[in-house]
Amino acid sequence: MESVDYIFGRIYEALHKAERVLLIAHRKPDGDTLGASSSTHRWLKSLNKDVTLFCQDSPSDKHIYLEHYGDFTDDPGVFDRPYDVVVVFDSGTLRYAGVHEHILRLPAGYQLINIDHHIVNDRYGDINFVLPEATSTSEIMYRFFEANGIVIDAAIATALLTGIFFDTSNLTNSATTPKSIEISGRLMASGARYQEIVRHTLHDKSVDLLRIWGIMLSRLRYNTRFDIVTTYLLNDDFDDVSTEAIEGASNFLNAVTGDGDTILTLKETPQGMIKGSFRSYKRDVSKIARLLGGGGHKKAAGFAIPGRIQETIDGPVIVK
């Protein structure tokens, strides 16, 4: 395999020579794909390149503090224009990025660069830089900027730190490495607006959402036999809460609960389904989720089954 420095050199050369560049963040964008793509956007803009920043879905407004938040476009028409280089960030496949169909329309003659940290990656690029040892694609971009002597200003530092924090759950999850903590420190020293990241991505829960979390907290049960903590939400508990918000509750419970290896959150849907979300420290919950027709990662997985939740004196039970 080619060395990191060699591939970094090839990417640097391709981007430096390019006049028109298309940068792609994956659909349903998270902090990492946004941080990696918007920092690259800022660097290329400083070189007076013609840069387009595309994402199939508009970034959520919690990322409004990112310097280039307003530069993202979801207009598929940008794929009808010619580019010298196209870069896809944080995506194992073009389908995951949400551009597998758009990309077929691109006028020929571009070089496709794939920058990612997921172990499973299709290597769909002309240049592939896949580094699973990195916590995040933003960490890879930090290493890239550093290796090429690119100045990391406060805006770039803020974007990259956003990505590292997102993928490591603020340097707390099991993916966190000494290197990611070291890089985070350097990004703060480069002027990353740490408090703004915390304010917008961590201290950002509305009172309405926290009330729902309150309901979930009041229903927590610890089953010592299976070493699992459970809670649930009924349709009647809320009017309009996004699944994303409930996922956030699972992550929150996982981050603060000291009892139990595994946390299971159940939520009724208006369509008569029950959505389950597992988080664990050690147990491989993807196996359990798969038994229930779902899937996911070892430590974060989910499923959906038909039914509803009935409250009984002995606790909640699932009925058809």
Site string for Mn ion, 43-82 (x = CB under 5 A): ----------------------------------------
Question: What tokens were used for 57?
Answer: 């879905």
Angle at 162 between CA 140 and CA 154, to 5 degrees: 90
Q: Using CB under 5 A, which of the segments 44-52, 87-95, 151-159, 277-285 binds Mn ion?
A: 87-95
Phi, psi of 239 (to 5 degrees): -95, -55
Rule CB under 5 A: say whether 32 interacts with Mn ion.
yes
> Which tokens in the block code for residue 90?
């944080």
Distance, in Å, from the CA atom of 305 to the CA atom of 193, rounded to the nearest integer, reads 43
- Which residues, at least 6 apart from 230, have a Cβ–Cβ distance to it below 8 Å? 220, 221, 223, 263, 264, 265, 266, 316
Distances (CA, A) of 172 to 49, 108, 166, 176, 245: 37, 43, 10, 6, 20
Q: Report if residue 116 touches Mn ion, rule: CB under 5 A.
A: no
State the binding string over 133-152 for Mn ion (x if CB under 5 A, else -).
---x----------------
How many CB atoms are located within 10 Å of the residue 141 CB? 30
What single-letter DSSP state applies at residue 41? H
- x/- map, 208-247, Mn ion, by CB under 5 A: ----------------------------------------
Instruction: Give the list of residues 6+ apart from residue 194 with CB closer than 8 angstroms, or none.
Output: 161, 188
User: Angle 137-147/154-167 helices, nearest 10 degrees?
Assistant: 140
> What CA–CA distances, in Å, run from 101 to 76, 94, 105?
10, 9, 8
Comparing CB distances to Mn ion, the nearer of 36 and 263 is 36
Q: How far is the CB of 139 from Mn ion (least distance, A)?
A: 9
Closest separation in Å from C-beta 42 to Mn ion: 19
* Residue 90 is a binding residue for Mn ion (CB under 5 A): yes
Stretch that binds Mn ion, among 5-13, 15-23, 85-93, 169-177 (CB under 5 A): 85-93
Residue nearer to Mn ion on the CB measure, 49 or 299: 299
The 10 Å Cβ neighbour count of residue 137 is: 31
Smaller CB separation from Mn ion, 29 or 260? 29
Other CB atoms closer than 10 Å to residue 128's CB: what's the count? 16
Given 115, 135, 145, 167, the residue binding Mn ion (CB under 5 A): 167
Q: Taking contact as CB under 5 A, which single stretch among the options 78-86, 90-98, 154-162, 204-212 is the one that binds Mn ion? A: 90-98
**Which C-beta is closer to Mn ion: that of 18 or that of 141?**
141
CB of residue 117 to Mn ion, shortest distance in Å: 6
Q: Between 79 and 145, whose beta carbon lies closer to Mn ion? A: 145
Shortest approach of Mn ion to residue 48 CB, angstroms?
29
Identify which range of 64-72, 99-107, 162-170, 272-280 contacts Mn ion by CB under 5 A. Answer: 162-170
As measured in angstroms, the least distance from the Cβ of 142 to Mn ion is 13
Task: Specify whether the backbone of 54 is left (phi greater than 0), alpha (psi in -120 to 50) or beta.
Answer: beta
Task: Please identify, among the stretches 127-135, 164-172, 180-188, 222-230, the one whose residues bind Mn ion according to the rule CB under 5 A.
Answer: 164-172
Q: Is 268 in the site for Mn ion (CB under 5 A)?
A: no
Give me the residues paired with residue 72 across strands: 53
* Interface residues toward Mn ion, by CB under 5 A: 32, 90, 136, 167
